[in-house]
């Protein structure tokens, strides 16, 4: 989970809630977003096969994954789809407009989720702090096991024979082996 300007951490609002690892890998002109399926409350696995990755846009060429509150993330997905309709073919502009609304709107400010959004050319991370970040090194991850998946993927990126999907799968498996809030029920969406 992430800290924002209104709460010190999500643990105050939802003690014991943990969920997910979402990873995006971009390599050799290909990209994938991979998410695990685990949702936990405290030490209990509530669901092992949740789907935290969605295709967006009229042509389904944009893929988004979320970490955090499901209802909040689905609200953000709906808002992003509306921004994409207003700014077709302009993922970055649509994300910036969403981030502005998310930061400024009293209702949206309370939403607790993070998003990774990608199309064939761009990968972005959106946060409730108003951030729209384009990651370096072709890799970004969010969620409970995000740092594990990110470190593993960065280490694997130099393996020339591995595709973006293979790097992503191996990195997510490493995260699942380390993080108790991440499992191996992966959903994989290819981009482009």
Q: Are 167 and 159 in contact (CB under 8 A)?
A: yes
Strand order of the sheet with strand 132-133? 53-56, 62-68, 113-118, 123-126, 132-133
Which residue among 20, 21, 123, 127 is the active-site one?
A: 20
Is 20 considered catalytic here?
yes
Rounded-to-integer distance, Cα 178 and Cα 130, Å: 30
Rg (CA), the chain: 16
**What is the maximal distance between C-alpha atoms in the chain?**
48
Residues marked active site are found at: 20
């Amino acid at each position: 989970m992430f800290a924002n300007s209104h709460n010190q951490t999500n643990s105050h609002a939802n003690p014991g809630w943990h969920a997910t690892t979402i990873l995006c890998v971009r390599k050799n002109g290909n990209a994938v977003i991979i998410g695990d399926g685990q949702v936990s409350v405290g030490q209990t696995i509530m669901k092992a096969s949740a789907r935290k990755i969605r295709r967006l846009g009229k042509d389904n060429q944009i893929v988004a994954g979320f970490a955090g509150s499901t209802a909040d993330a689905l609200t953000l997905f709906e808002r992003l789809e509306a921004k994409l309709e207003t700014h077709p073919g302009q993922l970055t502009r649509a994300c910036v407009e969403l981030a502005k609304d998310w930061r400024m709107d009293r209702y949206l400010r309370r939403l607790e989720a993070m998003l990774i959004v990608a199309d064939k050319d761009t990968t972005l991370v959106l946060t409730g702090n108003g951030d729209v970040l384009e990651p370096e090194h072709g890799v970004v991850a969010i969620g409970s096991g995000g740092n594990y998946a990110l470190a593993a993927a960065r280490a694997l990126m130099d393996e020339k024979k591995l595709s973006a999907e293979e790097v992503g799968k191996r990195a997510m498996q490493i995260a699942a082996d380390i993080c108790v809030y991440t499992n191996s029920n992966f959903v994989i969406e290819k981009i482009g």
